[in-house]
A and B are shown apart, each in its own frame.
Chain A
Amino acid sequence: MSSGYWLTNVTLETGYQMENDAITGTKTKQNHLFIQDGKIEKILPALESIKDNLPQKDAKGLLALPSFVEKHCHLDKTLLGDRWRSVTSVNSIFKRLEIEKKVLPNLETTTQERAEKLLNNYLTTGVTHVRTHVDIYPEVGLKNLVEVKKALQTFDGKLSHEIVAFPQHGLLRSNAKHLVREALRQGVNYVGGVDPATVDGDIETSLHQMVELAVEGNAGIDLHLHDADYLGVYTMKKLAQLTKEAGLQDKVAISHAFGLGDIPLSQVEEIAETLADAGITIITSVPINRKFPPIGLLREKGVATAIGCDNIFDVWSPFGNGDILERAGRLAEVSGWVDERSLSQTLSFITDDKAPLDPHGKQVWPRVGDDASIVFVEASCSAEAVARRAKRVTTIYKGEVVSGSLGLHEK
């Protein structure tokens, strides 16, 4: 057990300001937090003086937010750190796959280097947990996985991660089952997949194999599903059914789920019940070039939802900067969430549901016993942080400063 330290003068949100029954702002107070063994062990009002001689780090009134979660990225695909290249126009996903297969192995930088560049970017923007998909297909085998694991090793103790074994070229189409199985044996946590209809050409067999692999490897599932409208929705329903049959509730996610963006809201409500019942999470990158699921409605209906950046400068897209807070602001903007409460609650899409205030304004974070994973931002409240893309000053993961700095006052 370590002796711990104090984070002093930390601004925490304490409630909403009300005027004539309307929320007009967010109330905050300064506190001292005692951090020990990676946890927040005490929370004192800043007016009380600290009576011990343990080290203190002064947050100087900066706002503390729970550190962020990046729920969908591809550490093995980013070109960050390599030279600029735009995207070659193609008319099918299969041509894109061929391009990627050729480009990535021939770059001057290594997969590990580029992944580390992106991971560093995450730390500086406040992310301390990353879910990454890693390409698994016959030509590349488990090479990308090995490289990504090396990069994650470099960041050991700075952020946590989950890896999805992603048969990008189709679980069936590229006959990748044994490779995914091998990846699971090597500690990968999720079985991935992509478009059982348009890529694999056999929805049922594709989904069955994924579920089988997940059960066998005691893993979860995170499926890329771009398939449109009712094709996508059928696939979701089928996956929900298989999830329940296999007892995989709360371990399955559908990334993108574009189909939900194509159908009437009344039908989304219906399928939301099915998804919530099967404990399936919907993850979106908030694309602006196409319709995407009505995330607010899904959440209202009890479906777990999260945001991921997805493409961050790769052969698929020249855009994306890996700033998940910016992506949350985009969700708010595109959804028309402009008032104090809506903006502040948007934070929960990038914090595993840990917004400092619940929708009623009750303080729910931080609590004594919570992991000391915190990002300090230059903002007066969560709502401002989301709308204004607040500057990130310091990131703390389980009590350790992993990016930026705080004044350390040894006593």
Chain B
Amino acid sequence: MAGKTYWLTNVRLETGYQYEKGLVTGTDTEQFHVRIENGTIKEIVSVDKPLITDLPIKDANNFLMLPSFRDMHIHLDKTYYSGPWKAPTIPSKGIITRLEEEEELLPRQLPVAAERAKNLLDLLLRAGSTHIRTHCNVDPIIGLNNLEATLQAMEAYKGKASVEVVAFPQHGILRSQSVSLVREALQNGASLVGGVDPASLDGNIEKSLQTVMELAVEANANIDLHIHDPGHLGIFTFKRLAALTEEAGWQGKVTISHALALADISFEEVTEVAEILAHQGISITSSVPIGKTIPIPLLQKKGVNVSLGDDSITDHWSPFGKGDSLEKAGMLAERFSLSDERSLGQTLGYITGGITPLNTEGEQIWPKVGDHADFVFVDTSCSAEAVARRASRIAVFYKGNLVVGAL
């Protein structure tokens, strides 16, 4: 449908905050007609002016338009989703139990991996996510087979969502001697270098981080590492990663997923680490685990770019996970008591790559002419309500094309 031009009529957009005694008490919205051309927003006009056009028209029926969502951490290749129910076992040896399970589980699941990945992509898309970062196992057990399954699923959703794949040596890039596999994955469809716990899994922080960095530089790829290591062990790892990032000139290209250590340290220490991360443009992705949550609003305030991801959606690691980024944003807001209109509305930015219809001053900053036509229509009055009340999704657009739902 490239090149297709049409009008979306009666689109509700946020235009500013309502104030009472200097406090934001609500959000103003107005209706617009929006012209889409070549996957881009080309024109935005008020409904007050009559629309005279020969172009096709889709009526948005006054539903609120929000930027579409990003699920920045998921494992499409390992899910049980759409398969039979199975609870995780009790992990008597912690993460090692899970890794041992994979030796038997991954080969057994391989025949259904692509199908389940597709079903999970469908779930994410229906929830309004049009950009997805998936960590795909690359290890001696499964080789590049899960990558192949993931790529198959992606192919089926081409044109509906953008999916980026992290080559993820789940069993430790050093521990499972997966360097060459990761390299191969990067040449075959994966675009980021992954990793997990350089200390507790690889047993050699420095070598693990350097290996990751070398692979990234060699392939000109970004990095996204799972770091669960707690307390000052994790913090030390972040600091080393920041130093290597600077040395390699890899600023803005590195993400730490989970970064659980940030939940273990004092406010002052978080502030200090946040400044280091922000300085190197190192992002953080969190699944907002409700048992142990890192101080996300504080990190963001200190200039760290924080995104959210769903992580496990029922697999041998966790039986939970709903695949709904908006629900995740609501969880974040509830977790940090972000209950007022502005805080709730701004929470949306965690699941949109920072895009919110209004900035903190209430100025309309999205959508603008020239923006990608990636958006979701929700049955709600404003962003704040969408986040707090988990608004129902009506239709999802990616590059100007309706990919889910109907208008």
Q: Show the binding face of A for B, using Cβ within 8 Å.
A: 22, 24-25, 83-89, 288-289, 313, 317-319, 321, 329-330, 332-336, 338-340, 343, 379-381, 383-384, 387-389
Complex contact B87–A288 (CB within 8 A): no
B339: nearest chain-A partner, CB-CB: A87
A333 contacts across to B, CB distance below 8 A: 290-291, 320
In the bound complex, CA of A381 to CA of B256 (Å): 36
B380 contacts across to A, CB distance below 8 A: 84
In the bound complex, CA of A318 to CA of B329 (Å): 13
A381: nearest chain-B partner, CB-CB: B85
In the assembled complex, the CB of A402 is this many whole angstroms from the nearest CB of chain B, namely 24
A83 contacts across to B, CB distance below 8 A: 381
A343 contacts across to B, CB distance below 8 A: 87, 319
Given known contacts A317-B339, A318-B344, A380-B85, what 16 new A-B pairs fall within 8 Å (CB)? A22-B90, A84-B380, A84-B381, A84-B384, A289-B337, A317-B334, A318-B339, A329-B320, A334-B291, A338-B87, A339-B88, A340-B87, A380-B84, A387-B87, A388-B314, A388-B319
Complex contact B291–A336 (CB within 8 A): yes
In the bound complex, CA of A336 to CA of B322 (Å): 17
In the bound complex, CA of A381 to CA of B330 (Å): 28
In the bound complex, CA of A342 to CA of B77 (Å): 26
Complex contact A383–B87 (CB within 8 A): yes
A80: nearest chain-B partner, CB-CB: B389
B86 close to chain A: CB less than 8 A: yes
Q: Which of A83, A85, A330, A381 has the most CB of B within 10 A?
A: A85
Quick one: which of B75-119 are within 8 Å of A by CB? 84-90
Complex contact A318–B314 (CB within 8 A): no
The interface residues of chain A, by DSSP majority, are classed as loop
Complex contact B334–A389 (CB within 8 A): no
B188 close to chain A: CB less than 8 A: no
In the bound complex, CA of A90 to CA of B290 (Å): 25
B320: nearest chain-A partner, CB-CB: A333
In the bound complex, CA of A387 to CA of B316 (Å): 13
In the assembled complex, the CB of B283 is this many whole angstroms from the nearest CB of chain A, namely 24
A387 contacts across to B, CB distance below 8 A: 87, 314, 319-320
What 10 A-B pairs are tightest by C-beta distance, nearest first?
Answer: A387-B319, A318-B388, A87-B339, A86-B341, A340-B87, A384-B85, A84-B385, A319-B334, A338-B88, A288-B290
In the bound complex, CA of A99 to CA of B319 (Å): 40
Interface residue tally of chain B, by bracket? 35 or more
Complex contact A383–B341 (CB within 8 A): no
Quick one: which of B380-407 are within 8 Å of A by CB? 380-382, 384-385, 388-390
In the bound complex, CA of A89 to CA of B338 (Å): 9
Kindly identify which residue among A319, A329, A383 contacts B330, using a CB–CB cutoff of 8 Å.
Answer: A319
The interface residues of chain B, by DSSP majority, are classed as loop
Q: Show the binding face of B for A, using Cβ within 8 Å.
A: 23, 25-26, 84-90, 290-291, 314, 318-320, 322, 330-331, 333-337, 339-341, 344, 380-382, 384-385, 388-390
In the bound complex, CA of A383 to CA of B86 (Å): 9
Complex contact A88–B340 (CB within 8 A): yes
Complex contact B334–A289 (CB within 8 A): yes
Kindly identify which residue among B23, B335, B381 contacts A288, using a CB–CB cutoff of 8 Å.
Answer: B335
A89 contacts across to B, CB distance below 8 A: 23, 339-340
Complex contact A288–B88 (CB within 8 A): no
A22 contacts across to B, CB distance below 8 A: 89-90
In the assembled complex, the CB of B342 is this many whole angstroms from the nearest CB of chain A, namely 8
B336: nearest chain-A partner, CB-CB: A289
Complex contact B389–A318 (CB within 8 A): yes
Given known A89-B340, A318-B389, A334-B291, contact A339–B90 (CB-CB < 8 A): yes
In the bound complex, CA of A8 to CA of B162 (Å): 46
In the bound complex, CA of A329 to CA of B382 (Å): 28
Given known A289-B334, A334-B290, contact A383–B85 (CB-CB < 8 A): yes
In the assembled complex, the CB of A96 is this many whole angstroms from the nearest CB of chain B, namely 11
Complex contact A84–B320 (CB within 8 A): no
Q: Which of A319, A333, A338, A340 has the most CB of B within 10 A?
A: A319
A389 contacts across to B, CB distance below 8 A: 322
In the bound complex, CA of A319 to CA of B320 (Å): 20
In the assembled complex, the CB of B90 is this many whole angstroms from the nearest CB of chain A, namely 5
In the bound complex, CA of A87 to CA of B345 (Å): 12
In the bound complex, CA of A230 to CA of B385 (Å): 37
In the bound complex, CA of A330 to CA of B382 (Å): 26
A86 contacts across to B, CB distance below 8 A: 25-26, 339-341, 344, 384-385, 388
A344: nearest chain-B partner, CB-CB: B87
Complex contact A321–B390 (CB within 8 A): yes
A384: nearest chain-B partner, CB-CB: B85
In the assembled complex, the CB of B108 is this many whole angstroms from the nearest CB of chain A, namely 14
In the bound complex, CA of A392 to CA of B183 (Å): 47
In the assembled complex, the CB of B289 is this many whole angstroms from the nearest CB of chain A, namely 8
B85 contacts across to A, CB distance below 8 A: 25, 379-381, 383-384, 388
In the bound complex, CA of A338 to CA of B90 (Å): 8
In the bound complex, CA of A321 to CA of B339 (Å): 15
Kindly identify which residue among A87, A289, A340, A383 contacts B335, using a CB–CB cutoff of 8 Å.
Answer: A289
A313 contacts across to B, CB distance below 8 A: 388-389
A321 contacts across to B, CB distance below 8 A: 389-390
